[in-house]
Amino acid sequence: MSNRDVSQAAMEIIESMGLKRGRGRVNSVVSRSAARTPSAHTVDHGIKTSGVAAPSTGPINRLMFLEARRWAVDLVASLRGSPVEVVVERLDGATTGRPGSYVAGI
* pTM for this entry: 0.44
How many Å apart are CA 47 and CA 85, to the nearest integer?
7
Q: Which of 62, 55, 52 is nearest to 38 (CA)?
A: 55
Q: What is the pLDDT of residue 39?
A: 52
- One-letter-per-residue 3-state SS of 5-60: HHHHHHHHHHHHHHHHHHHCCCCCHHHHHHHCCCCCCCCCCCCCCCCCCCCCCCCC
> What average pLDDT does the segment 28-39 reach?
52
Res 6 pLDDT > 60:
yes
The alpha-helical segments, DSSP class H, found in 24-83 are 29-35, 62-78
Query: What does the pLDDT look like over 42-99, one tens digit per residue?
Result: 444 544 545 555 555 556 788 888 999 999 999 888 888 888 888 899 988 888 888 8
Domain boundaries, the chain: 1-35, 40-106
Cβ count near 44 (within 10 Å): 5
